[in-house]
Structure 1
Amino acid sequence: MPLTGKALRMARLSRRGDGRYLFIPLDHSVSDGPIVRAAGFADLVADIAGGGADAVVVHKGRARMIPPALLTDTGLVVHLSASTNHGPDVNAKVLVGDVEECVRLGADAVSVHVNIGSDTEAEQLSDLGTVAAACERWGMPLVAMIYPRGPRVTDPTRPDLIAHVVGIAADLGVDIVKTVLAAPPERMAEVVESSPLPIIVAGGGGSEESLTAFAVSAMANGCAGLAVGRRVFNSPSPKQAVQKLAAIIHGHGLAGEPEPHPELAGAL
């Protein structure tokens, strides 16, 4: 790939240069409410960066609150979509930022949320297309958080349905796609084979112990990484949680990080 702004930003999104990704979303404060005390936000980002995450995902206002030194080795993804759990339709997402202001913030990528099967699917797809065009103009990588989600979706873990939504992301100009893990997890390999884009899967809920097994399963079935928010920032030790995930995803770690999970020895 020739040297361009987009190429440089894409390189920063995979900290080890191996094409694998560990993103830690912290955008939940818009949808759900505060995730940490105001005074503890910089400490949380420091733990995430120190644990070896490839990038943090935040809204534009929070991005301005991150001390620049914390992002020396960790990428910044600015999320452009929003809704709250108090709205009449929690699956409806609207744009609350644009690519140009993310360039001014120094972002390495932007992300857009799309729920396929929701009542506002058409508007969300239109927004994704608009942002993709702006990303092309500005040399900005685009992450789509795209899910089968809404009143028309009875089983969001169906492999064929997940393959359809990640294909939409590819068709509309996305660079990295975030979605759900198929059930059973072994069928995620079919989704990966159908997609020309790297796929990262959402970490979802559950215990920290179950997260390790989840990460191992996702990587063993061809995913390019994970995006884990709640199970990191709700952990008693966010830095340690990130270290464990980074070792699983990248197959090696920074100094002091644990070795990769033994079940992945032949998969990575």
Structure 2
Amino acid sequence: MEAFQNIGIRRRLRRFFRRDGRALIFAMDHGFEHGPEDFTEVWEHVNPRVILKKVIRAGVDGVMLLPGIARVSGDVLNPNVGLMVKLTSKTNLRPKEDQFLQSPLGFVEDAIKLGADAVAATVYWGSPYEDIMMKQFAEVASIAHDFGLPVVQFSYPRGPYINEKYGKKEDYRVVMYGARAAAEMGADMIKTYWTGSKETFAKVVDAAAGVPVLLSGGAKAKNPLEFLKVVYEVIEAGGAGAVVGRNIFQRENPEPMIKAILRVIHRNEEPEEAAKAEGLI
């Protein structure tokens, strides 16, 4: 017989992933990690309730929030939409030498009180503080799994040694390494960087040993079609979807973009077809 916790983890994962095993998750931790200036393009979205109502109406599969925003926005969250609460973060106000460290800002028990379906924590693989973040993730995973909560690792190769050895943090070899390390640590989902091609991202997916790998959406693309092409290649490579923030909330009307991404992820539509259907081109 299976342990109660394993059944809980599987049930909660299904709140993010549809029957096709894929998901589009809206991310909104930017006000803490980058600062409120990330909302300058569409200032009304600095109010999380405003943007969350839009993304939920558009049909996202899940949302990722920090504890405080989950608290103030809880009443607008649709119970059919998965809630992921991220328990580590950092600000850009820190000294430059400490930017490679994420710190705890909440606890698994807080996420449970908020009704979370999953918790997340970041590890900067290759950082001088890698061991601290590994310990944080291990503690979060151990407690969360005891309560039947899935754990997501934001697996980001980042640090001075990464740049020195590989040239850039998105080099597929370090992204692949980070994905494998996340799987080895017991992650139930992995969010990581785009590697530049379907072929190299497929290696990242392979290295994750069956743990779903989701694209980290990154900075807003000037051309919506270019971002849809990346999402399409992620799916073609065996990826499980995307976690997207700025490519959604930095658009005054994000619904067409969300619906186009959903078409690519869940219907396997070509990027051009999805963009035309939603009036993006």
TM-score (norm 2): 0.85
Question: By percentage of residues, which structure has more helix?
Answer: 2
Aligned to 1:168: 181
Identify which of 46, 57, 71 aligns with 1:64. 71
What is the CA distance between 1:33 and its match in structure 2?
Answer: 1.8
Match of 1:106 in 2: 115
Residue 158 of structure 1 aligns with which residue? 171
Structure 1 position 117, deviation (Å)? 1.2
Distance of aligned partners of 1:262 and 1:105 in 2 relative to their CA distance in 1, 3 Å threshold: closer
The one-letter amino acid of 2:183's match is A
Do the aligned partners of 2:49 and 2:76 also contact (CA within 8 Å) in 1? no
**Contact 2:197 2:233 survives alignment (8 Å):** no
The Cα of 1:194 is off from its aligned counterpart by 2.1
User: 1:184, CA displacement in angstroms?
Assistant: 3.4
Q: Deviations over 1:107-148 (max 9, x none)?
A: 010110111111211101110111110111111110100111
Give CA deviations for 1:135-166 in whole Å, capped at 9, x if unaligned: 11111110100111110112222222212111
Q: Distance in 1 between matches of 2:29 and 2:237?
A: 27
Task: Indicate the SS of the match to 2:215.
Answer: strand
TM-score by length of 1: 0.89
Alignment gaps of 5+ in structure 1? 253-259
Displacement of 1:72 in angstroms is: 2.5
The residue that corresponds to 2:207 in the other structure is 194
The whole-number CA distance in structure 2 between the counterparts of 1:139 and 1:192 is 25
Q: How many residues align?
A: 257
State whether residues 216 and 264 of structure 1, in contact with CA within 8 Å, keep that contact through their aligned partners in structure 2: no
Indicate whether 1:53 and 2:39 are aligned. Answer: no
2:6 maps to 1:6: no
Task: Please give the per-residue CA displacement for 1:237-267, whole angstroms capped at 9, x wherever unaligned.
Answer: 1122111111111117xxxxxxx226899xx
- Asked whether the equivalents of residues 16 and 81 of structure 2 are also in contact (C-alpha less than 8 Å), the reply is yes
Unaligned stretches of 5+ residues in structure 2: 275-281
**Correspondent of 1:236 among 252, 277, 280:** 252
Q: Is 1:140 paired with 2:149?
A: yes
RMSD across aligned C-alpha pairs, in angstroms?
A: 2.2
Question: Separation in 2 of the partners of 1:87 and 1:214?
Answer: 32
What letter matches 2:103 in structure 1? Answer: V
1:13 aligns to what SS in structure 2?
Answer: coil
SS of residue in 2 equivalent to 1:64 = helix
* Residues 200-239 of structure 1 aligned to structure 2 (within 5 Å): 200-205=214-219, 206-207=221-222, 208-239=224-255
Distance 2:83 2:272 in 1: 31
Which SS does the other structure have where 1:12 is aligned? Answer: coil
* C-alpha displacement of 1:5: 2.4
Matched with 1:122 is: 131
Partner of 1:257: none
How many Å separate the matches in 2 of 1:185 and 1:147? 19
